[in-house]
Amino acid sequence: QVTLRESGPALVKPTQTLTLTCTFSGFALNSGGVCVSWVRQPPGKALEWLARIHWDDEKFYTTSLKTRLTISQDTSKNQVVLTMTNMDPVDTATYYCARTMVAGPNYSFDSWGQGTLVTVAS
Amino acid sequence: SFVLTQSPSVSVAPGKTARITCGGYDIGGKVVHWYQQKPGQAPVLVIYYDSNRPSGIPERFSGSNSGNTATLTISSVEAGDEADYYCQVWDSTSDVVFGGGTKLTVL
């Protein structure tokens, strides 16, 4: 059974750095064809893809936030970590991690964590 | 950047067929995935690779993709299908792109 769980602070102040951890089980990130991604959703708004890390440690980021995002993995702990610098109130959102299936250049998210709400406020 | 356009809302009576569209330039040349998201819950993949259903997804859910429009069709709609639905593609310039979502209301 594939499970993912996000953890991190519920509240961060503007300009601070957010660190979120995705702990997963039921699959291995070191097998080809599997990635882990982060997706966020501001309250009442649409999903927005943020970043993806591949089994070979290749990393991809959404262009608009590339300078603020870092994704990394700890295969020994089955964890993927996302950091976002210089947080702003507009970054208030539910942040999801998701197992990402890869076939050629196509990516689909077949399992999701329950999400963690991060509020940015002073 | 590649843009996916979805109607904000679709309403349908129980037992009828709901069609949720996702527009994008030559989207028929891309692979489309669809997600269902109920209030307070994480999204769930309901259609992948245009028209395939993951295990556990009812046969009432189907997908098609051609030209500039992909369509998620839900037949014999039930009250439990009420949710937000998102389409998603990968694009060579934008990477992963989600549509703006469509709220399905069951009357």
Buried-exposed string A6-25: b where 16+ CB fall within 10 A, e elsewhere: bebeeebeeebebebbbbbe
> CB–CB of B45 and A52 under 8 A?
no
Which residue on chain B is closest to A105 by alpha carbon?
A: B90
Contact in structure between A14 and A88 (CB atoms under 8 Å): yes
Residue B71: how many CA atoms within 13 Å on its side-chain side?
Answer: 11
State the smallest CA–CA distance between residue B33 and chain A in angstroms.
Answer: 7
| Sequential pLDDT tens for chain A (122 residues) | 999 999 999 999 999 999 999 999 999 887 778 899 999 999 999 999 999 999 889 999 999 999 999 999 998 999 999 999 999 999 999 999 999 998 877 899 999 999 999 999 99
> CB–CB of B98 and A46 under 8 A?
yes
> CB–CB of B94 and A63 under 8 A?
yes
pLDDT tens digits for range B70-90: 999 999 999 999 999 999 999
Which residue on chain A is closest to B99 by alpha carbon?
A: A46
